[in-house]
Structure 1
Amino acid sequence: MMKQLFVLLALVCSLGLGAQGTAAPDNWWELDRTENSFPGVSAAKAHNYLEGKQAKPVIVAVIDSGVDIEHEDLKDVIWTNPGEIPGNGIDDDRNGYVDDIHGWNFIGGADGRNVNYENLEVVRMYNKLHAKYNNRNRDGLDKKERAEYDRYVEYKEEIEAKEAELGPSAQQYAMIKDAVDQMLNEMGKSANEVTARDIADYKSDDQTALIVKNIVANATANGGTFAELYDQLEGATDYFDSQLKYNYNKEFDARDIVGDNPDNLDQRYYGNNDVEGPDAAHGTHVAGIIAGVRGNQLGVNGVGGDHVRIMSVRTVPNGDERDKDVANAIRYAVDNGAKVINMSFGKGISPYKKEVDAAMKYAEKHDVLMVHAAGNDGKLLTLSNNFPNDTYQGKKKSGKTWIEVGAASSEYGEGLAAGFSNYNKKYVDVFAPGAQIYSTIPDDQYAKFDGTSMAAPMVAGIAALVRSYFPDLKAKQVKEIIEESALPVNLEVIKPGSDDERVKFSELSATGGLANAYTAVKLAERTKGKNRRAGKRDPSLMLF
C-alpha cells in the first residue's frame, strides 16, 4: 500500500499544503551538509574519495512494482542473468524460472498478463472470514472462533468507514481535475505549455475555477510548474478512484491472472519474466536512487555507483503485496546473487508473516542485507502496525541484516523529519533523504516523489557502495557500519504526524542520525573486514 501513498504525498507538497523543507536543487539528496548546506547522503563526496580505488559488481534486488530496464539512465546498470539465453523459452540455468533475464515477476501470469491493481490485505482477510461468519452470531462460538469473529467485524467496519471516506475525496479531486481541464480547454494549451503568466491572466466567473487558479498560482510561485502539478493531480485522482474500484472493493479479485493458489505457500515457481509490468513508476524511481548512472549528464547520479547491477523482482501491485510473493521474491533475489535487497513497501496486516520471516532468515544465512522503508503514516512504528518487520513472529529475536529507514527532508532545521515518516527509537534504525526526491521514472522521464520509499534506496545505495569497494565485509558488518557512521543530529524537530509538537531528532530512530555514504566508506575502510561491536560510534564521524 505504501506505493500508492507517495502519489498523494507528492500532490500535497506540490500544492504547497505540506511542503517538506526549503527550496533545494534536484540533486540535494546526494550533497553534503558541510560542503553544500543540504543534509544529503554525501554520495558525491564519497565517490570522489573512492575515485581510483578498485571495486567489484554488486547485485541489488529491487523488490517493487517493476523497473523500466530500458530507461536511458538505468539500462547500463541492469542485472543480466548469465545463465539464461534470452527468449528461447527454456530454463537454461535450471533455477525454476524460464527466461528470467533481468529478474522475475511474481504478480504476472504464464500467459503474459500482469496484475496491476489489487485488494488491500484487510479486504482479503475480510473475504475469507465472511465466508465463515456471514449471518452468524457471536453467541455459541468457541474461544478461537470468537476471536476470528471479532476480527471479521473489525475488518468490516474498517472497510465500510474507508468507503464512506473515499467517496467524497474521490469526488473532490475529480471536481478539481475537471476544473483544471476546463482551464486548459479555455486557454487552448496542454499542461506542458502553461506558464505562470497564463495562470495570472486567466479569468473566469466560476468559483471553483478561481479556487483552482489560486492553488495553481501558489504552487508555481513556490517553484513548481503547472505540468508537475497536473501530473500529481492526475495521480491523486487515480489514487482515490483505484481505492474505491480495486483496493477496498470486496468483489474485485485479480489473482486469477497469476494462476497460482495464493493460499498454497509452498508454491515457488509461478509468474513471468516481465520485470517492468504495467506501472513501474515507483520501482523505477527507487532504482534510479540506488544506481542511476553517474556522470553521464542524464537525470540522476545514483548513490551506489556504476558497479551496482539492478535486479528487478516485481512483487508490489497497486494495492497490498502478498506475503507469499514477498517471501518468494526474497528467496529469488538471494538465490540469484543479490547482496542487497531494497524493499520500499509495507502494509498493516501480515497473515503469513512466518513465511516472510523464514525468507528473511534465509537471506541472513546467505549474507544478504535487507533495507526496508518505515512507512508513510506519520506515526509511531510498532511490530503490529507495519509489515514486514525484522522481529520474528512470537519471538523477541530479530534479524541481524535488516535496516529500517525513516525519511528526512532537505531542511536542516525543525522540518528535518519528513512529516509523513513513521518513527520509533527502537524499531527505526536511521533516517535518510525522502522528500522531493528527483529520480528516474519510465520512458526516459524523471520526477520528484516523496516517501520513506525514497529513503530506503538511499541506504541500499550506501550498502551497495560499501559492498562493492569492500567486498570482504559481511552483511551484518555493513549494517553496523551504516548505523555507526550515521551523522548525529542535535536538533529539535517537528514530530512527524503532528502540527507543531517538538521532539529531539535523536528520539526518532535508534541511531538518532542521518545515513551518510562518505562516513560509511571511511569507516568501512578502517574496518577492513575486522569484526566490530555494534553501537560504538567513531568520534571522528561526528561532523554535525
Structure 2
Amino acid sequence: MRRLFLLILLLFCVPLGAEHSKEPILTSQTRVLASPDRIIVRFAHPAAQKAVQQLGYRTLRQIPQLGYAVLNVPYGQVDETIALLKAKGLVREAYPDRAYRMAYIPNDPLVPNQWNLFRMNVPAAWDITQGNQDVVVAVLDTGVDYTHLELVPNIWRNPGEIPENGIDDEHNGFVDDDLGWDFAYGDRDPMDDHGHGTACAGIIAAAGDNGYQMAGIAYRCRIMCVKIGLSNGYSYDSMFAPGVVYAADMGAKVQSISYFSDDLTPLLRAAVDYAWSKGCLVIAAAGNFDEPYPIYPAGYDKAVAVAATTSADRKASFSNYGTWVDVSAPGVGIVATTWGGGYTGRFAGTSAATPNAAGVAALLWSLQPNAPVQSIRMALEYSSLPLNDPVVGYFSNYGRVDAWSALRLLPSLNPWYPTSPTIHWISPHRLPVTGGVVTIFGRGFGWDANAGAVLLQGRQLVTLSSRPVPRPRQGLRVLEWSDSRIVVQVPNGAISGWLQVRVHGRTSNRRWLALDPSSTACATAPSDAGIAGRYGQGAQLSGGYAELLEADGKALVARPRTDNSKTIELRLLVRGLDRNGVSSISCEYLRQYVGVGDSVVESVQLYDFSTGSYPYGVWVEVYSARANAHAGETLRFSLPAPASRWVSYEGDLFVRIVVNTGNADARLLIDKLWFLWQ
C-alpha cells in the first residue's frame, strides 16, 4: 500500500515548471551550485511528510524507488531549511538540489564527415549488426527533437500508453508518457528546447539507409526521450535522478548522459545503482576541464566514464583524464542532428564522446539482447584500444572504444574473457599493524561476485562472495568489488607483503602493502598526476604513482610552460581516504628544483571542500618554501585542522603544486610524495 500511495502522490505532485526556471545559486553555507528553492530529503518517519507540509514546505515530487522526495523552500533558504528540518528530527537525510551542466563545447558550421564511425570501426561492425528495434537507448538531456526526419523512424513510443487520454494506462505514475517524459518542467512533452539532446540522439541512432545526410552508430535501435535539462542547459538532482529511474523502469538498456556535476550526491548514486540493478548501463561524460579530478555521475563505479579523443586518436585538449576514466571515444568535430531539423559537423566535448560510446553499447545489446549488463560493459571496455598519448600518456583505464572488436569479443564473455587482472595503485599503501581499509584500483577484476581473491604474499587473504564477508577469526571483510575497484578490510595483525588479485586462476601484477608497527598513520601517494599548460603552452610531465611511491631515485619530472608565465602547476589526485575517520593529515615530500633562482617560491595547495564543492570553493596554500631550499631532504608538514575539510565525499584530496620558475628550462623532480592520515 505504501508504494501505491507514493505513486499516487507522484501523479498529483506540484508541477515543476516554475520552480525549475530559476538559475542555480551557490548555497550560503554548503557552497554548492544548486537550486535556490528546492531540497532533496528522506523523511525520518511516516508522519514526517505531513509535519513538514504543516511547516509550509510543499512536496514537489516523490521518487519512491529511491525513497527520496523533493521539497519547495523559500528562495535562498536552502541550507537554513535543511538545518531546521534536521533539528526537528523530520528528515533522515537532506541535501541541496544540486545543479548539473552540459559537457559540450560549442563549435562551428557543418562538415559532413563522420570520421568517428571509421575511427571506432563502426562500418565493419555494421556487417554484424546495425542495431535492433527492441534495444532502446535513453537520452537523458535537454530533450530530443522527435520531429527531426533523421530521428522520427527510431523514436521510442511507450507501448503501454494511449496518447492524450488523460490516463496513466500502464500505472507507472506518469500520465500520457507515450513519447517519454519531461522531468525538467514536469509534463508529458520531452521536446528539445536547447539542441544539446538532439545532437546526442543523432550520434546514437539517426536513421540509416534513408537518403538523408547521416547515420547513427546504432541506426536500427530506438531513442527514448527523457528530458532532464532546462532550456538554459542546467539540470538538477530532482529531475536527473527520477529520469535515470524512469529510463531503467521503462526498459532502456543504455542511458547516455552528457551532463556532469562537481561532486557526488547520495540520490544520484542511488539512481545509478538502481539502473545497474535493472540491467541498464549508464554511460556518462568525464568532463571538459583537462584535469585528473573526478566528476559525477561519470565517477560512480556503476557508470562508464567517457573521455574525448580527436581524429588522430589523441586526447582532446579539453577532456578530463585519469585512472578513474573508463574509456574514450571521438569527441571533436562530430556530425550530429540539430534542433529544428538541421545538422552540425562541429559538435564537440565529452558530451559528444558519450553518445558515441552509448551507440556502441547499443550494438552490443543488439547482438545479444539477453546478455547481462556486466558482459556488455566488459565487452565495451576490454575491447577498447589503449591509447598512449604523446602529451599525457595513457589517459583512460581501458582505451578508445572499438565497435567491431567489441562485437567480436562479446560472444566469448560467457562467463569470462581470459585476461589477467592489473593493479594500477593501492591506497593506502602503508597501514598501522592494527590494519584498516585498502582500495585496490586497476582493471580486469570482473563483476562475478564468486570468482575472485585477494592475495598477500601469495596466500589467499580474501575470497569474494555475493555479499560482504565477515571473517571473525581473521577480521576480514570485502566491502566492494567491481571490475576496476576492490575495497577490502585488512585485519589486525596482518604482515607486510606483496598484494595481488587473482580472478579465474589468473593473477595480477603486485603492489607492496606495508604494515608498520612504528606508526599509527595510513600513507598513500597520489594516484593520478597532471599539469596545466600542456596544449600549446609547452608544459611537460613524466611519471606518476610509481615515481611518487618511494624515494628510489626514479622521480616524477615536471617542466614549466614556455610562454610568458614560465609556471609549473602540477595537479594531483589522492584517493582512498576515509572522510569520516580522518582526524589529522600530514605530508612527506622529497623534491628538487633545477634551474630556479633563490627568490622563487613554491606553493603547495589543497582544495578546501568546506568552502564549496569543486570548483566553487577555494584552493588554500598549506605549505610554501623557497624552491631551491631543502634539496634532497624529506619535507614534513601538517594540514590545518579540521582534516575533513580537505577530503571530498568520496575520500579524495585535490592537490596543486604551483611555482613560477622564471625559466623555461627549469624542472621539478619529485622522488616521493606521501599523504599520511589517522
TM range (shorter): 0.5 to 0.7
Contact 1:477 1:532 in 2 (8 A): no
Q: Which of 298, 310, 313 is the matching residue for 2:223?
A: 310
State the percentage of identical aligned residues: 35
- Where 1:522 maps in the other structure, the secondary structure is helix
User: Of residues 525, 530, 535 in structure 1, which corresponds to 2:411?
Assistant: 525
Deviation, 1:3, is 5.6
Q: Which has the higher contact order (CA 8 A, sep 6+)?
A: 1
Per-residue deviation, residues 374-425 of structure 1 (Å, max 9, x unmatched): 011121132xxx222444xxxxxx32xx21000001124xxx211111111x
TM-fit CA distance, 1:57: 1.4
Q: Counterpart of 1:373? A: 285
Aligned ranges for residues 144-223 of structure 1 at < 5 Å?
A: none
Residue pair 2:102, 2:234 contacting (<8 A) in 1 also: no
Letter of the 2:367 partner, please give it.
Y
Letter in 1 for 2:199: H
Choose from 21, 31, 42 the match for 2:121: 42
The C-alpha deviation readout for 1:264-287, integer Å capped at 9, x for no partner, is xxxxxxx101111422x1100000
The answer to whether the 8 A contact 2:309-2:331 is kept is: yes
Q: Secondary structure at the residue paired with 2:307?
A: strand
Inter-CA distance 55–320: structure 2 relative to 1 (3 Å threshold) = closer
Pairwise CA RMSD of aligned residues?
2.3
Residues 294-333 of structure 1: matches in 2 within 5 Å? 294-306=208-220, 308-317=221-230, 318-333=232-247
Q: CA deviation at 1:531?
A: 3.5
- Cα drift, residue 10 of structure 1: 1.5
Name the counterpart of 1:361: 273
Three-state SS of the structure 2 residue aligned to 1:300 is coil
1:276 & 1:419 partners in 2: Cα distance?
32
Which letter does structure 2 place at the counterpart of 1:100? Answer: D
Alignment equivalent of 1:471, drawn from 369, 379, 383: 369
1:435 counterpart (326, 329, 332): 332
- Residue 70 (1) aligns with residue 147 (2): yes
Q: Tell me the SS of whatever aligns to 1:370.
A: strand
Q: Structure 2: which 5+ residue stretches go unaligned?
A: 1-98, 422-442, 446-678
What per-residue deviation string (whole Å, max 9, x for no partner) do you get for residues 254-307 of structure 1?
A: xxxxxxxxxxxxxxxxx101111422x11000001110111222122111231x
C-alpha change, 1:76 and 1:56, in structure 2 (3 Å) is closer
Aligned: 1:335 with 2:412: no
Q: Where do 5+ consecutive residues of structure 1 fail to align? A: 15-22, 32-39, 109-270, 392-397, 493-501, 538-544
CA distance in 2, matches of 1:62, 1:462: 14
Instruction: Give the Cα–Cα distance (whole angstroms) in 1 for the partners of residues 266 and 341 of structure 2.
Output: 39
The number of aligned residues is: 322
Query: Residue 4 of structure 1: CA displacement?
Result: 5.6
SS at match of 1:286: helix
- Structural mapping, 1:48-59, within 5 Å: 48-50=127-129, 55=132, 57-59=134-136
Rounded Cα–Cα distance in structure 1 between residues aligned with 2:305 and 2:406: 17
Cα separation, 1, equivalents of 2:267 and 2:377: 23
Q: 1:88 to 1:332 in 2, by over 3 A?
A: same
* Deviation for aligned residue 1:67: 0.1
SS of aligned partner of 1:440:
strand
Q: Which residue of 2 aligns with 1:150?
A: none
Instruction: Find 1:409's aligned residue among 299, 304, 310.
Output: 310
1:193-237, CA deviations, whole angstroms, 9 ceiling, x for partnerless residues?
A: xxxxxxxxxxxxxxxxxxxxxxxxxxxxxxxxxxxxxxxxxxxxx
Q: 1:459 to 1:89 in 2, by over 3 A?
A: same
Distance in 1 of aligned mates of 2:403 and 2:297: 25
- Asked whether the equivalents of residues 102 and 351 of structure 2 are also in contact (C-alpha less than 8 Å), the reply is no
Change (3 A) 1:4 1:356: closer
- Identify the residue that residue 107 of structure 2 maps to in structure 1: 10
Secondary structure of the structure 1 residue equivalent to 2:392: strand
- How much does 1:5 deviate? 6.0
Task: Give, in angstroms, the shift of residue 339 of structure 1.
Answer: 0.9
Q: Distance in 2 between matches of 1:434 and 1:66?
A: 20
Please state how far the C-alpha of 1:2 moved relative to its aligned partner: 7.3
Tell me the distance in 2 between the aligned counterparts of 1:10 and 1:4: 14
Deviation string 1:228-257 (CA, Å, 9 cap, x unpaired) is xxxxxxxxxxxxxxxxxxxxxxxxxxxxxx
Whether 2:297 is the aligned partner of 1:388: answer yes
Instruction: Supply the distance in 2 between the matched residues of 1:471 and 1:329 (Cα, whole angstroms).
Output: 23
C-alpha displacement of 1:361: 1.5
Q: Give the equivalent residue in structure 1 for 2:564.
A: none
Alignment correspondent of 1:420: 318
1:47 and 1:364 map into 2 onto residues whose CA distance is: 27
Is 2:186 the partner of 1:274? Answer: no
For 1:61, what is the secondary structure of its paired residue?
strand
Q: Which amino acid aligns with 2:386?
A: P
Are 1:85 and 1:99, in contact at CA under 8 Å, matched by a contact in 2? yes
Change (3 A) 1:94 1:50: closer
Q: Which residue of 2 aligns with 1:213?
A: none
Q: Which amino acid aligns with 1:510?
A: N
Shift of 1:25: 5.6
- Name the residue aligned to 1:453: 351
Cα displacement string for residues 71-110 of structure 1 (whole angstroms, at most 9, x for unaligned residues): 10000000000111111111111111111011100111xx
Aligned residue identity for 2:373: A
Higher-Rg structure is 2
- Tell me, in whole angstroms, the C-alpha distance in 2 between the residues paired with 1:390 and 1:408: 19
CA contact (8 A) 2:135 2:222 kept: yes
Q: CA deviation at 1:432?
A: 0.3
How many Å separate the matches in 1 of 2:104 and 2:383? 28
1:481 aligns with 2:390: no
* Counterpart in the other structure of 2:198: 284
What SS does the corresponding residue of 1:468 show, helix, strand or coil? Answer: helix
Task: Say whether the 8 Å CA contact 2:142–2:233 is kept in structure 1.
Answer: no
Distance change (3 Å), C-alpha of 1:2 and 1:364:
closer
Change (3 A) 1:536 1:331: closer
- Which moves more between the two structures, 68-77 or 372-381? 372-381
String of CA shifts for 1:113-153, please: whole Å, max 9, x gaps: xxxxxxxxxxxxxxxxxxxxxxxxxxxxxxxxxxxxxxxxx
Amino acid paired to 1:286:
C
Change (3 A) 1:277 1:487: closer
Which amino acid counterpart does residue 401 of structure 2 have in structure 1? Answer: A
The one-letter code matched in structure 2 to 1:67 is V
* 2:489 paired residue number: none
1:63 is paired with a residue whose SS is strand
1:106 equivalent in alignment to 2:180: no
Distance in 1 separating the partners of 2:368 and 2:304: 19
1:509 pairs with 2:596: no
| Structure 2 residue 1 is the aligned partner of structure 1 residue 92 | no
TM-score (norm 1): 0.56
Deviation at 1:439, TM superposition (A): 0.8
**SS, match of residue 259 in structure 2:** coil
**Whole-Å Cα distance in 2 between the matches of residues 2 and 327 of structure 1?**
11
Higher strand share: 2
Tell me, yes or no, if the aligned pair for 1:372 and 1:403 is still in contact at 8 Å.
yes
Instruction: Give the SS at the match of 1:44.
Output: helix
